[in-house]
């Protein structure tokens, strides 16, 4: 089916309106009319091929929410009209040990990303949520239980929410934990909300002095300007866990020094250029770890959505028409996002980008 979309034809080209083809739903497929799609920094990294390997045309977007508009004959979990979401994954092998544990993001045969992933559909790679509709295997469709009025603000949970929820759960964050969140952007602002909701003492690290008040409102107990070394050093050796969401290369030693014995600095930001090599001494004295974490599996994404629905947690968003996507990317690159752009997909196919 012909579908209006917003995509790029090359790394140095701006996003532009384009028409793509979506497959007719197969027996296990769910067709979703997309209402809103969050704008993740990974979209920008991919569109501009900052990580290399981007396939064009590139239609990004993996924070998708909308309503079911058709289902295949064997679909049992969803019906037309349901509020649903799709995150970063639309496929995986389903039989490797990682998939068997519900960790499809670590599929040993390679997961299929919502965009830039392998598919039999034209043009041979997946196209994401900056589009009017998408067709997805029901195993990768999430149920949304938030009130309908919150749908747009739920969209960022599908990537920013799960990418911060999953490591907080894996490292067993709860009451009594002291948690740092570095970078208050899309991921970071969700990290603050979720760590706070799990009962941790949360310290937000920001390079933007203007986000200080907001960080407290998001749930941070303390806020540190990470460019002010005196302020940073006050927290030396005190953190159980620090979640680093920064989208640019930076000095990791600043944060490993803040970990207590056996503490972990978990990286979720994926900068275009590598971080400077961290100090080994800082890790071995104190048995500290630097770790990484990738989004989350389908079961855990549903758990996170339900956790948020029960507690009324959504993202803080700024809604944009698709015509403003370039301006939004420029602002995202300047850390000027409060705290996630969300595209109103009803604006697709209505005038020039």
Where do contacts with Zn ion occur on this chain (CB under 5 A)?
40, 42, 159
Q: Quick check: 67 and 35 in contact, CB under 8 A?
A: yes
Nearest to 159 by CA among 54, 86, 77: 86
| Residue 304 touching ligand NAP (CB under 6 A) | no
Site for ligand NAP in 185-244 (CB under 6 A): 185-188, 206-208, 211
The entry of ligand NAP, Zn ion, none near residue 183 (CB within 5 to 8 angstroms by kind) is ligand NAP
What's the rounded Cα separation, in Å, for the pair 61 and 41?
A: 10
Distance (Å, whole) CA 239 – CA 177: 8
Number of residues that bind ligand NAP (CB under 6 A): 32
Tell whether residue 332 is a contact of ligand NAP (CB under 6 A): yes
| Contact window for ligand NAP (CB under 6 A) among 118-126, 142-150, 263-271, 311-319 | 263-271
What is the number of alpha carbons within 13 Å of residue 168 lying toward its C-beta?
33
Structure-token pair, residue 103:
């960790």
Q: Give the span between the Cα atoms of 143 and 305, in whole angstroms.
A: 8
SS3 (DSSP) at 77: coil
Nearest to 241 by CA among 305, 177, 293: 177
Binding window for ligand NAP (CB under 6 A); candidates: 120-128, 130-138, 276-284, 330-338: 330-338
183 is a contact residue toward ligand NAP (CB under 6 A) = yes
Q: In 3D, which of 195, 207, 186 has the Cα closest to residue 311?
A: 195
Binding of ligand NAP by 250 (CB under 6 A): yes
180 binds, among Zn ion, ligand NAP, none (CB under 5 to 8 A by kind): none
Residue for token digits 């698709």? 322
What does residue 182 show for φ and ψ, rounded to 5 degrees?
Answer: -105, 125
Does 42 bind ligand NAP (CB under 6 A)? Our answer is yes
The single residue among 246, 252, 259, 328 that binds ligand NAP, judged by CB under 6 A, is: 246
Instruction: Choose which of 28, 45, 139, 260 interacts with ligand NAP (CB under 6 A).
Output: 45
**In sequence order, which ranges of 226-268 are alpha helices (DSSP H)?**
229-233, 253-256
State the nearest-atom distance from the C-beta of 178 to ligand NAP, in Å.
19
Cβ distance to Zn ion smaller for residue 159 or 200: 159
Residue with smaller CB distance to ligand NAP, 53 or 81:
53
Residues of the shown chain interacting with ligand NAP in the complex, contacts defined by CB under 6 A:
40-42, 45, 159-160, 163, 183-188, 206-208, 211, 245-248, 250, 268-271, 293-295, 332, 335, 337
């Amino acid at each position: 089916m012909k579908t209006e979309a917003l995509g790029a034809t090359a790394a140095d080209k701006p996003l532009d309106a384009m028409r793509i083809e979506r497959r007719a739903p197969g027996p296990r497929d769910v067709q979703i009319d997309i209402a809103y799609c969050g704008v993740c920094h990974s979209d920008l990294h991919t569109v501009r091929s900052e990580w290399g390997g981007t396939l064009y045309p590139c239609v990004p977007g993996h924070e998708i929410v909308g309503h079911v508009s058709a289902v295949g004959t064997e679909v049992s979990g969803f019906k037309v009209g349901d509020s649903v979401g799709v995150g970063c994954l639309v496929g995986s092998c389903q039989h490797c040990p990682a998939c068997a544990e519900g960790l499809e993001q670590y599929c040993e045969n390679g997961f299929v990303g919502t965009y830039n992933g392998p598919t039999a559909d034209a043009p041979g790679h997946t196209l994401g949520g900056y589009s009017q509709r998408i067709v997805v295997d029901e195993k990768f469709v999430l149920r949304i239980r938030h009130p309908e009025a919150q749908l747009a603000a739920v969209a960022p949970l599908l990537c920013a929410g799960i990418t911060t929820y999953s490591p907080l759960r894996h490292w067993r964050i709860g009451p009594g934990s002291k948690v740092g969140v570095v970078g208050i952007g899309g991921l970071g602002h969700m990290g603050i909300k979720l760590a706070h909701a799990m009962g941790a003492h949360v310290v937000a690290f920001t390079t933007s002095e203007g986000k200080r008040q907001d960080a407290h409102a998001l749930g941070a107990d303390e806020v540190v300007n990470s460019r002010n070394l005196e302020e940073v050093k006050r927290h030396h050796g005190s953190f159980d866990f620090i979640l680093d969401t920064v989208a640019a290369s930076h000095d990791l030693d600043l944060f490993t020094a803040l970990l207590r014995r056996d503490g972990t600095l978990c990286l979720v930001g994926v900068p275009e250029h590598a971080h400077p090599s961290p100090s080994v001494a800082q890790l071995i004295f104190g048995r500290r770890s630097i770790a990484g974490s990738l989004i989350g599996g389908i079961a855990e994404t549903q758990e996170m959505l339900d956790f948020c629905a029960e507690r009324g947690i959504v993202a803080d968003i700024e809604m944009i028409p698709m015509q403003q996507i370039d301006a939004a990317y420029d602002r995202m690159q300047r850390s000027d996002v409060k705290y996630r752009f969300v595209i109103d997909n009803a604006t697709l196919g209505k005038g020039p980008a």
